[in-house]
Amino acid sequence: MIDHCPRCATKDISLVRTTSQWTLFRCGTCSFTWRSTEPDSVIHFEQRPADFRLDPHNLTALRQVLPTPTSAGRRARHRDA
């Protein structure tokens, strides 16, 4: 049984959904989401490549992802083009 996040190793995980085939988990610290049926190199922190792990103490230092445009914003750009 997984009791910590495969990406940041915190125990801030919750069960999202269970089916007859898999269980879906989500980390409240880094937002990583995974299914119980994924490969060990994805769902076990100890087996996960170091480049794909996160330090939960440095999350605020990560580069910000560009926001997804809202549908209203997309309509305005098409109208103005």
Q: Does 25 bind Zn ion (CB under 5 A)?
A: no
Q: Does 27 bind Zn ion (CB under 5 A)?
A: yes
The residues pairing with 15 across neighbouring beta strands, listed in sequence order, are 25
Q: Does 34 bind Zn ion (CB under 5 A)?
A: no
Q: Which of 46, 5, 53 is nearest to 29 (CA)?
A: 5
Measured in whole angstroms, the distance separating CA 34 from the mean position of its chain's CA atoms is: 8
Q: How far apart are CA 32 and CA 5, in angstroms?
A: 8
Nearer to Zn ion (CB atom), residue 32 or residue 43: 32
Q: How far is the CB of 4 from Zn ion (least distance, A)?
A: 8
Q: Does 7 bind Zn ion (CB under 5 A)?
A: yes
Q: How far is the CB of 27 from Zn ion (least distance, A)?
A: 3
